[in-house]
Structure 1
């Protein structure tokens, strides 16, 4: 199955660098096939409006990994303005030109405390475009990624709120890349009988987690351990981080859940499989009307930590907590829009009121679907 990895913008290319570092560290060339061509070069196109981030990728070009022709950069930024950007438009163009293809987006949502004055408009328009043109969206809110990355570092620094873990931007990108590798790196469960990977992982993830086009936002969490594989404890550390209810106290539910286990201890997970999957089903509150809500993939190697006696559990769910983020974006964007704030920055690049109205309507429908998920 053919597969192209498209990296767009500063964030996309920085996460991509961490992703390729994990993938190229694998000693098994056969498992690289879905992401590498037969000539050994990476199946990736890297796009950025500025050259600074892709310069590092050009260093890897000289090492023989990237095709130089697949690295596309400009000389000017986009001013953090969605109407002047690239990512959403590329999704639209890809869908128009390849309607039978499958698009899985990896999206980092900005910190709620604010990064730019335009971020709420940008998030509104971006999320609505992804809803229209992608088949699945792996959504990583920066605030949540910061907490996950902080839990894995011992360094401390003083901030305005006191002593806090010191988390770098590369550490946050590495966490996202680790979750992606946990989910998408070839697994034994989906290989042929001759143990050859044919690149089914992204397609199968979309198939089992996004069966309904109205709900396609995915929540991912991961736990990695060394030593004896106590899978029940690993599972407990994962489910503790699952959002339980929205700000109004309504319990969250999941449409479906995928668990991917990787262990250097062969197939130790199989001994605990039933209890782990039952725990995930209850903790994620899978809807009762889905007869097969929990899916499981296994692999006897842990690419995330190649050392002996290491194991990882990566869980991805179509979870109604996505509505919390979208509701926050809608509220803040509406406040700005009603005040007519900053709209001139979008109009100068052809983004009109109709685009905003359609974005509001699209995301309102998504929130309604997720809010009613547990009642269906």
Structure 2
């Protein structure tokens, strides 16, 4: 089943183009004699995320690009075309001539019905190209105006138009030191409004991704391109084709078909309660390119490293659900070690439902093995709580509130958003 990506705002478009570039690199034919399983993997990945035109045309990303400014979208389209390996479909881009000035209210209400209708028409065109639609992957920042404001309104419209399709929102969380003076307002409004329409909200913190780039990848000067490359690789580890891992039969490794509705299975595994839908993403290894060819990839060491990462800082988070995706030789059979124990588990979750495991024999691009963990646990609450606290302090002093009320977002809308997120935080704290 196919997934349509929504690249929303500057951040969403930059990440989205990097994500599709990572996908197309991953499905390149493996070196050596052709293998049937490699061909099946490539076919499954291309069918899920690309449309293959009749004839010899390049694969076209199943994506809609939306931004209030043309520059970033035009750059994404041009970079894809220059690659010579894939492209965006004609009519996939929806642009205007001016941005939203980091104002969530303007992005949510300002562009008007015509812009939303144009975006929905582009979505409809992509959906009609799918033999079967699994759902949508919406990539956006929570800090700005277009991606967060217009993106949120578009997601609400999508839920109404496609009520049975899955909707996974990938949310780029801003640096805690601040990129935009009103970023906490924008984050609170985005998260609160998406909570009612999205099936899961995957929160990816720039602070954490920056540490990966600076400390593990040893980048001397970290750029947004570096951040996007790390996030795209982590998403690929989670969302490229995989199989449900089962105990292998006596005759050999477990086979089975690739997950047909992988997005749907992911949402089912990770969101057992409709109020608790905040996810985080962890991946190992993270190594500088100069070290990769000289590194021995050992499953035991990788899984121990992943366990340490997910259990810090102390105290370890309380887990509601987790999904582990292993890629590389013997991924179907390697012992899980401490990850299988589940750590601190929510009291009402059955132990057998606490950890789902998928695997794929094919190694990821650039590494001999990889382990990716999606987690629904209390660790993700910290940045949300921080944003709500800072936004509330600004709100009680009425700082910048007039910029929002001018475009139709009332003080009651703010209060409703604060109330909803406080309830979500309290629910996670009670796990």
Answer whether TM exceeds 0.5 for this pair.
Answer: yes
Which residue pairs with 2:135 in the alignment?
Answer: none
Which residue pairs with 1:162 in the alignment?
Answer: none
1:334 aligned to which of 382, 385, 392: 392
Could you tell me which runs of 5 or more consecutive residues in structure 1 were left unpaired when the two chains were aligned: 157-165
Could you tell me which runs of 5 or more consecutive residues in structure 2 were left unpaired when the two chains were aligned: 29-38, 54-58, 108-149, 246-253
- Number of aligned residue pairs: 350
Q: Deviations over 1:318-371 (max 9, x none)?
A: 011222111111111111110011011111111111210110111011101100
2:96 aligned to which of 74, 87, 95: 74
- CA 269–99 in structure 1, closer or farther in 2 if over 3 Å, else same: closer
Q: CA RMSD in A?
A: 2.2
- CA 189–32 in structure 1, closer or farther in 2 if over 3 Å, else same: farther
Q: Deviations over 1:7-52 (max 9, x none)?
A: 1001001111111111111125402111112423211111111111
Partner Cα distance (1:340, 1:371) in 2: 29
2:318 aligned to which of 253, 274, 293: 253
Answer yes or no: is the 8 Å Cα contact 1:51–1:73 preserved in 2: yes
Note if 1:271 corresponds to 2:334.
yes
TM-score, normalised via structure 2 length: 0.76
Answer yes or no: is the 8 Å Cα contact 1:3–1:199 preserved in 2: no
Which residue pairs with 2:269 in the alignment?
Answer: 208
The DSSP-based 3-state class of the residue aligned with 1:240 is: helix
Alignment of 1:175-324 (within 5 A): 175-189=230-244, 197=258, 199-224=260-285, 227-242=295-310, 244=312, 252-263=317-328, 265=329, 267-268=330-331, 270-273=333-336, 275=337, 277-279=339-341, 281-282=342-343, 285-291=344-350, 292-305=353-366, 310-324=368-382
Which residue pairs with 2:170 in the alignment?
Answer: 106
- CA 76–293 in structure 1, closer or farther in 2 if over 3 Å, else same: same
Partner Cα distance (2:334, 2:231) in 1: 29
The DSSP-based 3-state class of the residue aligned with 1:68 is: coil
Partner Cα distance (2:256, 2:13) in 1: 31
Q: Deviations over 1:201-229 (max 9, x none)?
A: 22111110011111111011100276544
Answer yes or no: is the 8 Å Cα contact 1:304–1:312 preserved in 2: no
Partner Cα distance (1:304, 1:105) in 2: 24
1:150 aligned to which of 201, 208, 214: 214
TM-score, normalised via structure 1 length: 0.87
The 4+ residue runs of structure 1 with deviation greater than 6 A are 193-196
Answer yes or no: is the 8 Å Cα contact 1:259–1:296 preserved in 2: yes
Q: Deviations over 1:103-153 (max 9, x none)?
A: 100001111111111111001101111211100011001111111222333
Answer yes or no: is the 8 Å Cα contact 1:153–1:167 preserved in 2: no
